[in-house]
Amino acid sequence: NFSHPKTKKQIICPVCGNKFPKSTGKIYCSDECRNSVKYAGYPTIEEIEERYIELKNWEKVAQSFNLTRKVIQGIRKRSNKLWERE
């Protein structure tokens, strides 16, 4: 009788190609890969801040990118969280 350690099935991240252990519902290997897909096409925080300096109004900034103010707010929040990690 041989006892083999359980080996988890490995899957490949569709963004970066890294292999990682399969777990229920997980598609990407990291938050960075997940976010790169989720937020693709959105303006960067730098673009948003530059537009705010020009327009001086968050609603106008959102309209200029054809987004909602709430989406702009989310990008700004996410950017602040990234700064806090560093």
User: Is the pLDDT score of 12 beyond 70?
Assistant: yes
Mean pLDDT of the chain: 81
CA-to-CA distance for 71 and 85, rounded, in angstroms?
Answer: 22
Q: How many Å separate Cα 85 from the centre of its chain?
A: 15
Q: Tell me, what's the pLDDT at 86?
A: 39
Residue type, 65: F
pLDDT digits (tens, 9 = 90+) for 38-80: 766 788 889 999 999 999 999 999 999 999 999 999 889 887 7
- What is the reported pTM? 0.54
- Residue whose C-alpha is closest to residue 51's, from 35, 72, 77: 72
Band the pLDDT of 81: cuts 50, 70, 90: low
List, in order, residues 6 or more apart from 66 with CB less than 8 Å away. Answer: none
Q: Tell me, what's the pLDDT at 2?
A: 57
